[in-house]
């Protein structure tokens, strides 16, 4: 069971209800002067009025659109209450009560309403041409994280992406494939399970690293992944921060004391990693020609929602927290 259900619900709600967050995600497609448009309609426009051909996703349960349904792992969510607010009210394999953030992103960009998982056996060519998710719930920047959970590591996800590239090259040719890759929006969202699960919930890494050392390991892995992704043709890449992972029910239960407050140690680890990741994204942009990597902060917006839920619409925070605790998430 993923420990990110409440994170997913809140990030999804924020993406749906907060125009500023939607604009922030869409800043991965600025013009050459680094500017973004102010209106929702304009943010989908690229230089020369081109449109986004595809949305392509890597990461963990926050952006897994059901790849884990098709692998041998206990990290699954193909049962209630997952999916109760999705189309048809049934679980799909998304670690959420409804859509996940990348479904909304694909719709906002005018690409499609639902982003499918790459491992879905029912995929058609058009699904591939307009983007898929390679993400796997339980994955992380640390290779050990995916190994512990028996899910797709970032390396595995890149291998699937290489297979994806071959399929679209065979279908539409090398030139069009290169254009699709260079103009598509890529999102990388992972790291929560590294901190919450691998570091704080198992003894394996704590015996080797303190928090600064472990976050350095995460950043090195992130850097290697982003450089490989660039080498495969990606240019517009949004890199999401780790959310306020210390405030999810599992961490509050394990380390929040009698009042079940947010785990400050987990949150401080997230803050440290995010600071390093943000700096590294800036550095990568300077050394890779035509790279347009953007660091996207979800730590602070999510924390604001958790602390002041009434300011973000009709969020039944108490009910969602109760459900998440009941599910062990």
The tens digit of pLDDT for each residue in 70-83 reads 999 999 999 999 99
Checking if the pLDDT of 303 tops 60, the result is yes
DSSP SS3 for 320: helix
Structural domains in the chain (count): 1
Calculate mean pLDDT across residues 199-209.
94
Calculate mean pLDDT across residues 232-247.
95
pLDDT digits (tens, 9 = 90+) for 92-145: 999 999 999 999 999 999 999 999 999 999 999 999 999 999 999 999 999 999
CATH number of the domain to which 288 belongs: 3.40.50
The confidence score (pLDDT) of residue 252 equals: 79
The confidence score (pLDDT) of residue 322 equals: 53
Residues of the domain holding 134: 5-326
Percent of the chain with pLDDT over 90: 70
What are 47's two structure tokens?
Answer: 């230089």
CA-wise closest residue to 211 among 295, 270, 252? 270
State the pTM of this model: 0.85
In this prediction, residue 259 has a pLDDT band, given cuts at 50, 70 and 90, of: confident
Average pLDDT score, the chain: 85
What are 151's two structure tokens?
Answer: 């899910």
The confidence score (pLDDT) of residue 142 equals: 98
Q: How far is CA 308 from CA 33, 57, 304, in A?
A: 36, 30, 6
Checking if the pLDDT of 317 tops 90, the result is no
Checking if the pLDDT of 85 tops 50, the result is yes
Q: How far is CA 126 from CA 70, 87, 172, 180, in A?
A: 21, 21, 11, 12
CB 206 within 8 A of CB 254: no
């Amino acid at each position: 069971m993923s420990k990110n259900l409440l994170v997913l619900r809140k990030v999804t709600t924020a993406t749906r209800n907060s125009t500023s967050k939607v604009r922030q995600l869409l800043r991965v497609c600025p013009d050459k002067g680094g500017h973004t448009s102010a209106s929702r309609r304009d943010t989908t426009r690229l230089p020369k009025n081109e449109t986004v051909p595809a949305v392509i996703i890597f990461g963990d349960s926050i952006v897994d659109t059901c790849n884990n349904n098709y692998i041998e792992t206990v990290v699954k969510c193909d049962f209630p209450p997952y999916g109760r607010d999705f189309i048809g009210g049934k679980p799909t394999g998304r670690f959420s009560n409804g859509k996940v953030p990348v479904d909304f992103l694909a719709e906002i960009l005018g690409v499609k309403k639902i982003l499918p998982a790459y491992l879905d056996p029912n995929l058609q060519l058009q699904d591939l041409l307009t983007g898929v998710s390679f993400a796997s719930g339980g994955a992380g920047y640390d290779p050990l994280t995916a190994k512990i959970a028996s899910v797709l590591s970032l390396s595995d996800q890149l291998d699937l992406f290489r297979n994806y590239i071959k399929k679209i090259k065979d279908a539409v040719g090398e030139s069009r494939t290169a254009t699709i890759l260079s103009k598509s929006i890529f999102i990388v969202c992972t790291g929560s399970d590294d901190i919450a699960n691998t570091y704080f919930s198992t003894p394996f890494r704590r015996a080797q690293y303190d928090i600064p050392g472990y976050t350095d390991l995460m950043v090195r892995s992130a850097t290697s992944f982003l450089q490989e992704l660039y080498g495969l043709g990606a240019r517009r890449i949004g890199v999401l921060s780790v959310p306020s992972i210390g405030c999810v029910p599992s961490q509050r239960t394990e380390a929040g004391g009698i009042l079940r407050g947010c785990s400050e140690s987990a949150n401080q680890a997230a803050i440290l990693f995010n600071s390093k990741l943000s700096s590294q994204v800036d550095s990568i942009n300077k050394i890779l020609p035509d790279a347009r990597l953007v660091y996207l902060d979800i730590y602070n917006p999510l924390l604001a929602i958790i602390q002041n839920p009434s300011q973000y619409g009709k969020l039944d925070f108490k009910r969602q927290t109760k459900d998440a605790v009941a599910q062990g998430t």
